[in-house]
A and B are shown apart, each in its own frame.
Chain A
Amino acid sequence: MEHRLRTPLTSEEVLLLRAGDIVWLSGTIYTARDKAHARLSSWRDLIPLEGAVIYHCGPLLSGGDVISAGPTTSGRMARYASQVVDLGVRAIIGKGGLPGAADCLRGRAVYLAYPGGCGASASGQLRVKGSFLSDLGMAESIWEMEADDLGPMVVAIDAHGRDLYEEVRTRAQERLKC
């Protein structure tokens, strides 16, 4: 099933999404990766977090233009997933999944997979509106971006406890034993 959504997201919208669905997203989103997550305690003072969407991305920008902006590996930020969702965030976008986070997303948030490496496509779907924690530099700052039909993204971990990555890894382990 395909969904076209606009931020901020409501909990009703999030609960309608099922693992394997495709999402196109518009509205304000915020990039954050390793160093921005290390300063998680400052987020509440910087950005409106209720229903917010966080994008694991370190964009390549030039003169305020988005040159390339695909997802980074979310696994490095998995340890923060529970705190991020506690702040009101209802969707996390990235690649590779959030190992062990399906339980803390349950009933509250989803994980959306943007195709890894597809930074050129993403650059046509995103526009920079502002930035926070700018001392962290281009890749690590929080960038406020306007998304225009960002996608296609796969609902890879839904709010009902289903984690497609975990299912694929478990199946691969079984096939290894054969």
Chain B
Amino acid sequence: MRREDVVEACVSALRRAETTLPPWVEDLIRSARDAEGDSLALSNLEAILENIQAAASRGLPLCQDTGLPVFHILLGRKADLDFSLEEALAEGVRRATLEVPLRPNAVDPLSRINSGDNTGPGMPALIVDLVDGRDLSITALPKGAGSENMSVIAMLNPVDDPLEFVVRAVAERGGNACPPLFVGVGLGGTFDGAAALSKRALLRMPGSSPLELELLERINSLGIGPMGLGGDTTALGVKVERACCHTASLPVAVNMQCWAHRMATSIVGEDGWSIA
């Protein structure tokens, strides 16, 4: 596998993610618009659909908060890599920052000094899974602060109701996260594991299990509405990822995602790269 292919594939996945939405996300927003009964909510959903159109036709980032670079990496166990994958992805982020362009968002947490290119310690953030085969799959999931800031984690008492916690989190914080939302839920595991699961849940949207659909209905019955200004559409999808937890623990994490569920995937093989 060639390093330059990984860099190109990374830039392309970021560009695609920042300027377009997965078709199924736009379909969900369109369906919500068709079903919405509140006039202000309708006005916001129409504005969102017009923005998606404007971004796609002019090749512009949908949102000025082009987010922090998060990647889900599927690495083939037989992939032939003789270079640092982390460094190649960081180079892709630096190039995308200039070429898409992206807003420089990565700062040191104490000095608040901006690195200027969206890279630095821990950035880009990688979620890595090993899979069969020789290919490398790069999914860009740029994550904005408006929704990330409204995310929450708690170590509940095992007798507490974690589903109630999720619905309450959206009731109290969801309006600031640019609804209609995608709500990623990490249930169980360890403290850090629950947060990681809630981020992974965003990669598997939208959920369709009875539990996920029940949560979606409960969240939508709150009436928070698009942009927190009221209406029938508060969330477009809920996904729950579970892990076993200690008998004395009940970790639950809620990773909020805005309506702009930006995601795109490039595949790198031995002979080159392509974007889905």
Cβ contacts A59-99/B at 8 Å (1 or 0 each):
11010000111101101000000000000000000011100
Decide if A72 touches B146 in the complex (CB within 8 Å). yes
A137 CA to B223 CA, complexed, in Å: 38
Q: Given known contacts A68-B60, A113-B227, is B171 in contact with A172 (CB within 8 Å)?
A: yes
Cβ contacts A113-129/B at 8 Å (1 or 0 each):
10111111111100000
Q: Which of B51-59, B198-206, B240-248, B268-276 contacts A (4 or more CB under 8 A)?
A: B51-59
Could you tell me the dominant secondary structure of chain A's interface residues? mixed
Q: Given known contacts A117-B259, A168-B225, is B62 in contact with A75 (CB within 8 Å)?
A: no
Decide if A119 touches B171 in the complex (CB within 8 Å). no
- For residue A113, which residues in chain B have a CB less than 8 angstroms away from its CB? 227, 229
Decide if A164 touches B65 in the complex (CB within 8 Å). no
Interface flag for A27 (CB, 8 Å): no
Interface flag for A138 (CB, 8 Å): yes
Pick from A72, A119, A168: contact of B62, CB under 8 Å: A119
Interface flag for B222 (CB, 8 Å): yes
- For residue A121, which residues in chain B have a CB less than 8 angstroms away from its CB? 47, 50-51, 54
16 contacts between A and B (CB under 8 A): A20-B40, A58-B65, A69-B64, A73-B176, A115-B51, A117-B144, A118-B63, A120-B58, A120-B60, A137-B104, A154-B229, A164-B229, A168-B175, A168-B230, A172-B222, A176-B167
Q: Which B residues form the contact surface with A (CB < 8 A)? A: 40, 43-44, 47-48, 50-51, 54-55, 58, 60-66, 101-105, 112, 114, 144-146, 149, 167-168, 171-172, 175-176, 178, 221-230, 258-260
Given A60-B66, A70-B64, A73-B146; 5 other pairs, CB 8 A cutoff: A68-B60, A70-B63, A72-B146, A164-B40, A175-B171
Q: Which A residues form the contact surface with B (CB < 8 A)? A: 20, 22, 35, 57-60, 62, 67-70, 72-73, 75, 95-97, 113, 115-124, 137-139, 152, 154, 156, 164-165, 167-169, 171-173, 175-176
